[in-house]
Structure 1
Amino acid sequence: MEEEKPSLVTRITRYIPTVKRPSYRQSLNTRLKWTGLVLIAYLALSYIPVYGVEPSTYEQFRYIELILGSRFGSLMTLGISPIVTAGIILQLLVGSKILNWDTTKEEDRKKFQTWNKFLSVVFCFITAAVYVFGGALLVLGPLSMKIIVLLQLAAGGLMVILLDDLVSKWGIGSGVSLFIAAGVATQILIRLFSPLPATCKPFQFSTCMPSVGNAPVGLVWQFFLNALIGNRSLMLQTLLPILFTALVFLIVVYIQDIAIEIPLSFTALRGFGRTWPLKLLYTSNIPVILAGALIANFQLLGRFGLTPQNGLQCGMLGCYDANGNPVSGAVFYLSTPSNFLLQLISTGVTSADWIRVAIHIALFAILCTIFSVFWVSTSGMDAKSVAEQIEAIGMQIPGYRRDAKSMEAVLSKYIQPLAFLGGLFVGLLAAFADITGTIGSGTGILLAVMIIYQYYEQLSMENLEEAHPLIRKLIGE
């Protein structure tokens, strides 16, 4: 019988650079070292400007930067966008059975991974082209200069793919999660504690002196400054984001431990057993990453082909003001209402703002629920895969027959409802965090806390005897 010839995509992916898996088990310290080196490389690359791009603050893209782990104007402009966009497309195609792949089978799982890698590389160039020719980046010069900028952005995207691959194989966790957490944590620290005003420019010390009319960026310093001058209204406006950030942090940490414990017993050893936890947030932060990335990509699409109209920049999806903020059309109603609570308290809101909030809540809840259900069926977290894992380690559910089918029937009663409820809950929580104006965006702080907690859980399950004493203290050993 002739072997099936590899597809064109499979042959192409063989020439795409990849990171080989280690041939032996790495110690915890070694994996932490690789994770740290990748993080340093990512942060360093995010401060290398792209040649040919005009300097700008890119404040209108702050939400996109947080969700996609990017930094506009640098080599990390694309961030994780190509990886996540490729994942979204494949999740939808496989989850809706347009691509009839069973990812519990080795052959179909390899197809999924091959196509995911191929599409990630393709989207490096597609997304870079949209940024350059859509006007997201200020490129002054002829077509040749735009092509040079496009190639630099695509190269940065390829670096992110390799760094993500390196973390997945040699480090701890995934590069996607690491880059998001790093970006959000940086923004939170700056937004909380930076004593410098927004007008501060390098080597111009007069612009870096904070005052009443030129307040520091850090909310903590703003609070004390407003307290000194007795402005209670501004004190409240600076205090609310801090309080809601702390509230979201506590909620996320609390719900991480809510789980259904499935009792298990060893088939060969009577009297010995353990439990298999099925968490309320069964798919963790994956639905929020995918939903946030999808909305961020839509916002970028809305900036493509803008033309000036009555003092606004307008396109087929809506108009933007001089500061790049959406003011009408689909882009307005699908944008994140991050300052809604402060506007409600201080200046009031319009009916359009209430509609935007309702759409934001509904959209996040629906998208997160859909992605959560699809992720279970395509990532090996469905009842069948979990039952096979339990059977492989020689365990069973007490009171049921010793076969995977019986365990699958029991697990399916919990896993599908948890996938639905977990996705719905995390979507509503992300929308709530966005509306209340938490620091680093609501979705960003939610992702950062969940990612850091995941790292804590992963480290707590490792053999900490070989870890650095500081790591053992952080974990509480």
Structure 2
Amino acid sequence: MGIEEIFANLPEVTKPIRRLSLKEKLIWTLVVLVFYFILSLLPLYGLSPQYSAQFETLSILLAASFGSIITLGIGPIVTGSIMLQLLVGADIIKIDTQTSEGRKKYQGLQKFFSIFFIVFENAAYVISGALPPATSGPFFVTLLIIQLIIGGLVLMLLDEVSSKWGIGSGISLFIAGGVSRSMFVGALSPAISPINRMPIGALPRIIAEISIGNSAGALFPFMSIIATIIVFLMAIYFSGVQINIPLSFGRVRGFGIKWPIKWFYTSVMPVILTSALMASLQFWSVMVFRWTEHKTTWFAGLMKSVFGEFTRQATADGGYTLRPISGVANLIQHPTIPQIMELGLSSGALLSILFYASFMIIGSVLFAVLWLNVGKSSPSDVADQILSSGLGIPGFRRDKRILEKILARYIIPLTVLGGFTIGILATVADVLGALSRGTGILLAVMVLYQFYENIQKSHMEEMSPMVRKVMG
């Protein structure tokens, strides 16, 4: 069987045979989102109730729901896509994506890689003990793996449905949906926290605190709501800030376009990469703690002092989570302002906030600069795109060196400022105790803004004059 036959037999969602209206796309998008939420609520049959729920940051970035059949979320799909891009970029796999045949082969390989990593990562996750079965033995281990693989494959197909029939990428939709759900739960959930015996949701807690005469206690959840609104509005504002560079066609006089360079030039990638780095440090801190927990050697003590020690806290679903109490892990797990107001400010809490803020802001700036070349968006890359389109800046020769120098005046400063701004917004949201992680709120805003731009670009003519005026 040839590689083309293998690709032909892979599961695939067919494209619509006609142009879909905005209403139809919105319906399909809603259907995909509902199915995603259903998958996130389906618990793994045979999973031990004593599993450890960890890595909240990664779960937001990967649209994952720990303990469900999409425990790894979009992680395997994204990993497969990144691996293929690296192999193609390094010319290990040679594909000409400029041709229709090459694009078809690339899409087939992308799906093959996604399926491979769905199987591999879910199997590795269960076998490593991260998701322990309720009863030991190969049967329940295999059962958990099969459920996770099914969840991953369904998620992959839902991504295709959203991309072909909806208003945008399914992966982006799942991330926005997961963040929105966490914000909804954080705002409205009446479930009782096992820690303080108060509702988890901000609004129910405000009502509960006021009903018992504790108006000071109602201030903390109120601050969370205000912090979320402020960060959300600031992210929307900066998403729309851009500099337009006028361009003209060399052979067509009097006709030109504007090339936008956004304030968030590298989008939300800097804060994603910084958060992922923090999550990796948290992951290795947990691994080191598990390895050194019952050891008394000098080396084990050194590892504990550097990476940190943890204490176990019960969760509402019967499991437990590890909370850091020292080391690097504790510095990353910063307290929020409401927690400080409730428990008091200590030197350790202040150090943790300063470390977290510095790490997030500096990391976002560094990753923003790094992403210029990795994401093919450097002044040189943009100059190539402009020149290959037959465009140029009025009043200047169509020379790459001149164009690159002009673009660098805008792209480099906006890259640094954008990384700095997005790092501050994420830090403010996290430290003020917003309803979701700062990274998650920024991701949701970016995704929703992309959907808004897609609708504005493709379906403005279908809208009523009033809606068209609102959409800009």
Assess same fold via TM > 0.5.
Answer: yes
Q: Quick check: 1:259–1:279 contact (8 Å CA) kept in 2?
A: yes
**What is the match of residue 464 of structure 1?**
460
- The equivalences for 1:372-383 within 5 A come to 372-383=368-379
Per-residue CA shift, 1:196-252, capped at 9, x if unaligned?
5357xxxxxxxxxxxxx8533321232233234332331222221112111111211
Quick one: percent identity of the two aligned structures?
36
How far is 1:470 from its partner?
A: 12
Matched-pair contact (CA < 8 Å) for 1:288–1:447: no
Q: Does 1:72 align with 2:72?
A: no
1:110-121 paired onto structure 2 within 5 Å:
119-121=113-115
SS in structure 2 at match of 1:180: helix
The runs of 5 or more residues in structure 1 that have no matched partner are 1-5, 200-212
Structure 1 equivalent of residue 437 of structure 2: 441
In structure 2, the residue matched to 1:82 is 76
Residue pairs, 1:314-333, within 5 angstroms: 318-323=308-313, 324-328=321-325, 332-333=329-330
For 1:130 and 1:334, locate their aligned partners in 2 and report how far apart those are by CA, in whole Å.
Answer: 29
Give 1:209's aligned residue. Answer: none
1:184-203 correspondence runs (5 A): 184-198=179-193
The 8 Å contact of residues 50 and 152 in structure 1, kept in 2 or not, is answered as yes
How far did 1:78 drift?
Answer: 0.8
Q: Which residue does the alignment assign to 2:172?
A: 177
Question: How far has the Cα of 1:82 moved from its partner?
Answer: 2.0
Give the CA deviation at 1:146.
Answer: 1.3
**Paired residues, number:** 450
Q: Name the residue aligned to 1:168.
A: 163
Does 1:241 find its partner at 2:224?
A: yes
Task: Give the Cα separation in 2 of the matches to 1:474 and 1:132.
Answer: 52
CA distance in 2, matches of 1:52, 1:84: 27
SS of the residue 1:325 aligns to: strand
Partner of 2:318: none
Tell me how far apart the structure 2 counterparts of residues 473 and 402 of structure 1 sit (CA, whole Å).
37
Alpha-carbon distance, 1:179 to partner = 0.8
Q: CA deviation at 1:47?
A: 1.7
How far apart in 1 are the matches of 2:265 and 2:129?
Answer: 39
* Offset, 1:152: 2.0
Q: CA deviation at 1:15?
A: 6.1
Q: Does 1:276 align with 2:259?
A: yes
Bigger Cα displacement from structure 2, 162-171 vs 142-151? 162-171
Q: Which amino acid is 1:190 matched to?
A: V
Q: Indicate whether 1:137 and 2:127 are aligned.
A: no
CA distance in 2, matches of 1:331, 1:119: 35
Change (3 A) 1:81 1:227: same
Q: 2 CA distance for matches of 1:284 and 1:450?
A: 7
Alignment correspondent of 2:403: 407
CA contact (8 A) 2:190 2:199 kept: yes
Give the alignment of 1:185-224 within 5 angstroms: 185-198=180-193, 214-224=197-207
Matches within 5 A, 1:48-127: 48-55=42-49, 60-86=54-80, 99=90, 106=97, 119-127=113-121
- For residues 118 and 281 of structure 2, the distance between their equivalents in structure 1, rounded to whole angstroms, comes to 16
RMSD, aligned CA: 4.2
| Aligned counterpart for 2:239 among listed residues 231, 236, 256 | 256
Structure 1 pair 190/29, CA: closer, same or farther in 2 (3 Å)? Answer: same
**What CA distance in whole angstroms lies between the structure 1 residues aligned with 2:265 and 2:156?**
26
C-alpha separation in 2, matches of 1:245 and 1:253: 12
Paired residue type of 2:324: V
Structure 1: distance between partners of 2:123 and 2:283: 12
Given the superposition, is the C-alpha separation of residues 46 and 369 from structure 1 closer, same or farther in structure 2, using an over 3 Å criterion?
Answer: same
Structure 2: distance between partners of 1:357 and 1:103 = 47
Shift of 1:178: 0.9
1:21 shift after superposition: 5.0
| Kept after mapping to 2: 8 A contact 1:365/1:427 | yes
Q: What is the letter of the counterpart of residue 418 of structure 1?
A: L
Residue deviations 1:96-135, cap 9 Å, x none?
x9x4799998479979877765554444344324532444
Cα distance change on mapping 1:304 and 1:437 into 2, 3 Å: same
Q: What is the correspondence of 1:296-315 to structure 2 with a 5 Å cutoff?
A: 296=279, 299-300=282-283, 302-304=285-287, 306=290, 309=293
Distance 1:406 1:70, change over 3 A: same
2:324 match: secondary structure: strand
Query: SS at the partner of 2:258?
Result: strand
Q: Which runs of 5+ in 2 are unaligned?
A: 296-300, 314-320
In 1, Cα distance between equivalents of 2:232 and 2:41: 28
Q: 1:90 and 1:310 mapped to 2: Cα distance?
A: 41
Matched, 1:341 2:331: no
1:27 and 1:439, CA in 2 relative to 1: closer, same or farther beyond 3 A?
same
Contact 2:426–2:442 (8 Å) recurs in 1: yes
| Secondary structure of 1:437 counterpart | coil
The answer on whether the counterparts of 1:292 and 1:443 sit within 8 Å (CA) in structure 2 is yes
Q: 2: CA distance between counterparts of 1:238 and 1:68?
A: 27
**Distance change >3 Å, CA 390–CA 104, structure 1 → 2:** farther
Q: Does 1:229 align with 2:223?
A: no
